[in-house]
Amino acid sequence: MVRPAQRRELVSWAIASYQISERTACRATGSQRSSIRYRSVRPHQEALRRRIREIAAVRTRAGYPLIHTLLRREGWHVNRKRIYRLYREEGLSLRIKRPRRHRTAVARAKTANPIGPNQVWAVDFMHDTLASRTSIRVLTAIDVATRECVALVAAKHFTGNDVARIMNDAASDRGKRPERIRVDNGTEFTSKALDHWAYWNRVELDFSRPGKPGDNAFIEAFNGTLRRECLSQHWFLSIAEAQRILDEWKDDYNKHRPHRSLAGQTPAQFRAAGLET
Q: Tell me the CB-side half-sphere exposure of residue 41, using CA atoms within 13 A.
A: 2
Partnered with residue 206 across adjacent β-strands are 182
Is pLDDT above 90 for 90?
no
CA–CA distance, 206 with 112 (Å, rounded to integer): 13
105: pLDDT strictly greater than 50: no
- The three-state secondary structure class of 115 is coil
H/E stretch holding 195: helix 192-200
Instruction: Compute φ and ψ for 207, nearest 5 degrees.
Output: -90, 135
Look at 104 and 9; give whichever has higher pLDDT. Answer: 9
Name the pTM for this structure.
0.73
| C-alpha span between 198 and 163 (Å, rounded) | 11
pLDDT band at 106 (very low <50, low <70, confident <90, very high): very low
- Residues 217-268 pLDDT 10s: 999 999 999 999 999 999 999 999 999 999 999 999 999 999 888 888 999 9
